[in-house]
Amino acid sequence: MEVKYNYVVIEGNIGAGKTTLATRIAEQFNARLILEQFADNPFLPKFYSDPEKYSFPLELSFLASRYKQLNEELGSLDIFKTFTVADYYFMKSLVFAASTLTGDEYNLYRQIFYIIYNSLPKPDIYVYLHINTDRLLNNINKRGREYEKSITGEYLQKIQDSYFTFFKQNPENKYLIIDINEVDFVADENDYSRIINTIFKNNYPAGLNKVIM
């Protein structure tokens, strides 16, 4: 299958399967894979235990680490890879900050975000894996990360709303929202193939494009 994109981002809520799908795509197409480095963030477990106290330092630390990683990896060329696929993009910083910060802290954060955001290369397409909150919670529970046990459906809904707000406020980008509530691309190879065909075999205009699997 010929891939017409140079840079593909797989986005979605916590537990949507972003990393799994991005990794499989990289393996199938010999693409360069960029995975978010979040496990060593010292503020993450603190945030889940006390969000009000640690939300601002958490979001700032993610802003810095995401910029550093994307700037380094996207700034280098790998002639042996067909394209680049990532399991997140820098916009994720603003999406999550909009769910955790308020007032002056959010306004300051938003200003810093857009200064940095405009300096980074933009993906050719953003693929958003859409799943309802009940299934997300089930996926989160199954992977068993201790610091994620306090995540609620309300928090996941706020993140989802923040994603769609960003999409609507930045319509110049190309977004493909794939509703995968009724499929299991991890266990079912046919479901995986359908998602791959949806991403790579169709042409999409800028703005929101929605597909229900």
Residue 48 is predicted with a pLDDT of: 82
> What does the domain layout of the chain look like in residue ranges?
7-212
Q: What is the pLDDT of residues 16-66, one digit of tens each?
A: 999 999 999 999 999 999 999 876 788 888 888 888 899 999 999 999 999
For strand 174-179 and strand 125-130, is the pairing parallel, antiparallel, or unpaired? Answer: parallel
pLDDT band at 76 (very low <50, low <70, confident <90, very high): confident
Structure-block tokens of residue 191: 């479901």
Residue 52 is predicted with a pLDDT of: 87
Residue numbers annotated as active site: 87
The conformation of residue 202, written as its DSSP 8-state character, comes to S
User: What's the fold here for domain 7-212?
Assistant: Rossmann fold (3.40.50)
Short-list 92, 47, 101, 96, CA closest to 70: 92
Q: What is the pLDDT of residues 144-188, one digit of tens each?
A: 888 788 899 999 999 999 999 999 999 999 999 999 999 999 999
b/e burial code for range 183-212 (CB count within 10 A of at least 16 → b): bebeeeeebbebbbebbbeeeeeeebbebe
